[in-house]
Amino acid sequence: MFGFIKNSLSKTVGALKTIVPKRKMSFTHAEIEDILLEADVAYELVEKILSETYQDKITREILRSKLLATLAFTSYKEPEFNPPFVELIIGVNGAGKTTTISKLANKYKSMGKSVMLGAGDTFRAAAIEQLTLWAKKLDVPIISSKQGHDSSAVAFDTIDSAKSKKIDHVIIDTAGRLHTQTNLANELIKINRICDKAHAGAPHRTVLVIDGTQGNSAIAQAKAFNEMIGIDGIIITKLDGTAKGGSVFSIAFALELPIIFVGVGEQPEDLTPFNKHEFVDGLLDAIYVEEE
């Protein structure tokens, strides 16, 4: 797992080399400010970290404790539920929802669990086609309809079918929607309500997929989704393709929500549980030299 996390920070580490050409055992406040800002940690969070650090020189252990504190809410505990476990996947277009759904399905299958997909993004025919292709590739059943059909009906039919077939996991896609569009927000709320009607307590987990290349700009978007429907956890995609890895700290601190997984590639197996200790250490390894 550590290899995945460390690889996901490769571009961020590369960017930091312009600020830290040579690793050291300690840094001044000004140097740490430059380092964290280069990694795309939000300015307000950088100032908070530094204001709470009273030592003249900031060692690895001092910075490590501060960074871990920003990730205090990232742990996730699965809720109690009656099968099937229903997940609603939300997020804007281009965030990587469909690929993430395929990765989740692959992960559950590798655990010996049965999976059914629901093509709830009825806004775009391409979204239905893409998810259907993944379902065939992974050999999992999918419930879908034509473009323009009621997405909440797809959600209901998916859950109803999964219950009758005793499926373990249901993963429902939704349209990539901008949080400023009220009609789409209302549709999300309706899907949420219909899921509970189909299976009491569903969805058991509502997951927001965030594009890691967006950095801190994803925070406002995530806050709006959370206020709209309530988010149980976050999956950050494309982390391997961005130099903005430090934004993970800002996102986690601002939202106070668990980061469940991070996407570190395009293949179905390229999804790894987020581990805050490994993430922080992967970043600090690029900055500090080991003590002798």
Give residue-wise pLDDT tens across range 34-69. 999 988 899 999 999 999 988 889 999 999 999 999
- Which residues touch 90 (CB under 8 Å, ≥6 apart)? 97, 174, 177, 188, 206, 207, 208, 209, 225, 229, 231
Question: How far, in Å, CA of 158 to CA of 117, rounded?
Answer: 7
Decide if 260 is inside a domain.
Answer: yes
**Token pair of 272 as six digits:** 């790894």
pLDDT at 195 over 90: yes
Helix (H, G, I), strand (E, B) or coil at 207: strand
Question: How far, in Å, CA of 142 to CA of 131, rounded?
Answer: 8
* Whether residues 55 and 193 fall in one domain: no
Q: Are 192 and 90 in contact (CB under 8 A)?
A: no
* Whether residues 116 and 65 fall in one domain: no
* Whether residues 246 and 110 fall in one domain: yes
* Whether residues 97 and 197 fall in one domain: yes
* Whether residues 14 and 115 fall in one domain: no
Question: How far, in Å, CA of 92 to CA of 74, rounded?
Answer: 22
Decide if 7 is inside a domain.
Answer: yes
* Whether residues 236 and 109 fall in one domain: yes
Q: Are 137 and 115 in contact (CB under 8 A)?
A: no
Give 17-33 pLDDT, tens digit per residue. 888 888 899 999 999 99
* Whether residues 89 and 68 fall in one domain: no
Decide if 255 is inside a domain.
Answer: yes
**Rg of the chain taking only CA atoms, in angstroms:** 20
CATH code of the domain covering residue 109 = 3.40.50.300
pTM of the model: 0.89
Given CA atoms 82, 97, 211, 221 in this order, what sign does their dihedral have? Answer: negative
* Whether residues 34 and 173 fall in one domain: no
Q: Are 45 and 67 in contact (CB under 8 A)?
A: no
The count of domains in the chain is 2
Q: Could you tell me the residue range of the domain that residue 52 belongs to? A: 2-73
Give 233-280 pLDDT, tens digit per residue. 999 988 877 778 888 888 888 888 889 998 877 777 788 888 899 889
